[in-house]
Structure formats: C-alpha cells, structure tokens
Amino acid sequence: MSTYKIHFTWKEKTRIIEARSLDMTHPYFVSIKGLIFPKQSAVIINPDGDELQREFGSADHLMLPFQSVQLIEEYQRKPEVSDQKTGKVIPFSTQKEQDDE
C-alpha cells in the first residue's frame, strides 16, 4: 500500500503531511484523502505536528492548490501490527509423541 508525503506551504511555512490517497486529476488542486498523523506521545512534544493536527485533524478531504505544493513523495508503507494477517499455525509433535507412534 502506498503512502504519500506532501511538502507544501501553509501560512508562509513549509509543512509536511502524510496521506493514504492522492489525486492530481483536478486542473488546479491536489486532492488529498486519508490523512495520517503521528501518534501522540506524552514524552516528545512536536509543535509542528500538533499544529497540523489542530488545523487539518478533522478534515476528510484536503484540496491544496498546485502552487503551494513543492514536493510529493510516494513510498510503500510497512504494515503495522494491526494490519498484518495472522500466519498459518503448523502443529508440531514432541519427541515423546513420535516415539509412541
């Protein structure tokens, strides 16, 4: 599954936001859906991340003007533990069970 990292200018600052879906078919805008925000930590404080969360955290869909976008990166997202399917379980026998047979 691809994840996109979009570098753009917002309120005269360069911002980076991650998303699961990106559409550039609109003539004037980059359409961004499925925003991904880093998980909050009680120890590490990230003012830029907190500001992005406040600004765009409740949005389902962003339309950024092409002029504000500097760079779009696409990369393969590593599956998280919750995304991974459970593997096949293969039973094994002990030495004693093999001797009994």
Task: Say whether pLDDT at 9 is over 70.
Answer: yes
pLDDT at 82: 45
pLDDT at 31: 92
Per-residue pLDDT reduced to its tens digit, 57-98:
777 888 999 999 999 999 887 655 444 455 555 565 666 655
For 91, which DSSP code? -
Structural domain boundaries of the chain? 2-79
What is the value of pTM for the model shown? 0.64
CA pair distance 35, 20, nearest whole angstrom: 6
**Residues near 33 by Cβ (< 8 Å), separated by ≥ 6?**
19, 20, 21, 22, 23, 60, 61, 62
Per-residue pLDDT reduced to its tens digit, 15-57:
888 888 999 888 899 999 988 876 766 566 656 666 777 777 7
